Amino acid sequence: MRLCIVGIGGMGGKVAHEFLANEDFESCRLTKLTGGEHVTSGGIKGVWLESDENEAKNKNKFFKDGRQNPHDYPLYFIPHDMVPDGHPVHVAIKKKYGYDIKKQGYVRDAQYLKAVYEIFEDDPEIRGKLLDLRSTNPIFDCAWAAVRPYTTLGRGKCDGILFIISLGGGTGTGFVNPIVQHIRSTGKGDYPVFVLGVLTEEGTASDREQYAKEGKRNLGAISSIYDLLTKGGGVDGLILVDNQILLSRCEGDYTLANRYLHQVSLPLVAARDYPGEKPPSPAVRAFSTEGWSFPPILVPCYSRIRRRSGSEASLVEEALSKGRLFGCQPQDADKAIVFCRGYLDSGKIRNAIVGHIPDLTADKIAVWRKLGENSHEELLILLRNPYGSPGSYQIEGTLEWRLHRVIASAITYMEGHKPDLLYIKGYSESTQDDELTVTDETRQALEDFFYGDRGLKAELEVAMKRLEDGTKPFFKRPLRIFDIPDPKSVSPLVIEDNKTTPAQRAQIKKMIQEELREMGLKV
């Protein structure tokens, strides 16, 4: 498994830096002599996608500007640079929808980039203005062009992608879904794509760090998670990490937390696999998605203990009890993907996991081992969908509890901030925010998206109910902001009553009933 690490946004860039730091002795003169390449653990490669020029140019010293010299490494890219200022498409989107696609740092609204992606994908009028850019979706094409060369789809060696984002409502939150959709839409349906999303902590502690208040952050986070989990053929696994847990282990230090995240990932990305146990990313993808039609949630549980013989049981115990990086109930998991480093017996690891999660049979546990340091042994268990017990949403430390609270907070925000979400004049409370003026058409689309009968708020309410009942999955129906009719693809469905057979009628009836049930209505 050789992953391409793609950090998106501020936090994604900082964590990607930890992954991509050169492990070789750094010296420019010596490198000229030896032709030395950038060496990383496990041969991983990566890139940083950012939207804020100031952040990328002035505050970052690690990533180099991909536009200046594409042969440098590692690079950062600012995808919206692809569209020049004042380009007809920039003007047309501003005029028709009100969105400024060149806005620095992107608007810290969950739906902003989702809307931009949909406009590029679906609006023939906008696409018609893109001819000179040789791209139908320039922002996301440019982002993909920055990543692709490192992957086996380009000329690289990475057989999978791991996006690292903060689910704090900024660039990472907004960008990850469109870019994943874009990769998929270019025909790479089975290329392994995983997302590591860090949910920001509760309370006001990270308001400054994330430039957004808790309710807004939570709406951004849940909106992004919603899209990640409902897009069939989207990501192959959403690895959820709770920053609250991360910071509690790192004494509240964000830099230490980023390093810890890298350390936790070493069993996954490092080299020195056991002979015959070098899983290609497609194998991990296949195991992760098998038997589940939606993108799964993966909760990482990590442990690291001093080496001693027969430590498998202790490692598993430690990982599942104290090592969860997101609240969950391990016994609800339907699969376990294990990566470990050290002299460990895979049979003993399986037995130890079954001891904690009796419902998991051996074929539901995959173990991949590597050699690590001699002094310590490490274990990373990715539990698939470790939730789904009725009433668990009331128990602190469960996935249901955490997400129920995030959803509730997002709904409260939506109820109290309608003018903000619809960009009604005078909405901005903060002096930081430049007000956006969207068109009436966009405002109507946003109103339907957020507050419509089948809009986000309604879906979130249904999801809360599902979490309360312990239903898997809790997000089901993909949502769109715009319903832009494409003249080429419109084909009205006509059911002629006198031509339908009883079997067809029964089938249609069943489909409607299922749909109504999904909406939470009694049938």
Partner 1 sequence: MNMMQVSFLAIVMLLLLGLVAHILNVRRVHRRIEMLEHKAVPKEELLSDLYSCQGSNFNALALSAWILFLTALFFLYLLTPELFQDRNYFIQLPRMASSLGGLALFGLLGSVMMILVVVGSEKMPESLQYYRLAELYGYYSMSRNEKRAMIAAIPLLWVSILISTHMATIHPTFWAPEWWAGFTLLFASLSLLIWPMAKEMWEGRS
27 binds partner 1 (CB under 8 A): yes
**Window contacting partner 1 (CB under 8 A); options: 162-170, 305-313, 394-402, 441-449:** 305-313
Check binding of 521 to partner 1 (CB under 8 A): no
Q: Out of 272, 465, 505, 509, which residue is the one contacting partner 1 (CB under 8 A)?
A: 272
Q: Which one, 27 or 504, has the nearer CB to partner 1?
A: 27
Q: How big is the site for partner 1, counted in residues (CB under 8 A)?
A: 37
User: Is residue 72 near partner 1 by the rule CB under 8 A?
Assistant: no
Residue that is written with structure tokens 């992608």 in the block:
161
Q: Which of 204, 293, 309, 489 binds partner 1 (CB under 8 A)?
A: 309
- Least separation in angstroms between residue 342's CB and partner 1 is 10
Q: Under the criterion CB under 8 A, does residue 61 sit at the interface with partner 1?
A: no
Query: How far is 482 from 439, CA to CA, in rounded Å?
Result: 13
Helix (H, G, I), strand (E, B) or coil at 11: helix
Cis ω for the linkage preceding 149 (within 30 of 0) = no
For residues 30 and 508, which CB has a smaller minimum distance to partner 1 in the complex? 30
Query: Closest CB to partner 1 among 26 and 190?
Result: 26
Considering the rule CB under 8 A, would residue 523 count as an interface residue with partner 1? no
d(CA 367, CA 517): 39
Q: What are the C-alpha distances in Å from 409 to residues 86, 328, 447, 464, 520?
A: 38, 19, 19, 11, 21
Pick from 65, 202, 345, 468: which binds partner 1 (CB under 8 A)? 345
Nearer to partner 1, 313 or 408 (CB): 313
Nearest residue (CB) to partner 1, 36 versus 88: 36
User: Which window, 34-42, 109-117, 387-395, 408-416, contacts partner 1 (CB under 8 A)?
Assistant: 34-42
Give the residue among 439, 450, 387 at the shortest CA–CA distance from 93. 439
How far apart are the C-alpha atoms of 519 and 466, rounded to whole Å? 11
Of 39 and 511, which has the nearer Cβ to partner 1?
A: 39
Give SS3 for 161.
strand
Contact 403, 329 (CB under 8 A): no
Nearest-angstrom CA–CA distance, 103 and 82: 13
Per CB under 8 A, contacts with partner 1 among 375-394 are 375
Backbone angles phi, psi at 127, to 5 degrees: -60, -30
- Alpha-helical regions (H) of 270-345: 281-289, 312-321
- By C-beta, is 30 or 506 nearer to partner 1? 30
Q: For residue 73, state whether it binds partner 1 (rule: CB under 8 A).
A: no
For partner 1, the closer of residues 294 and 343 by Cβ is 343
- Token output for 278: 């070098």
Kindly list the distances between the CA atom of residue 2 and the CA atoms of 192, 284, 303, in Å, as whole numbers in the listed order. 11, 11, 22
Binding region for partner 1 (CB under 8 A): 21-27, 30-31, 33-37, 39, 42-43, 271-276, 278, 307-309, 343-346, 369, 371-375
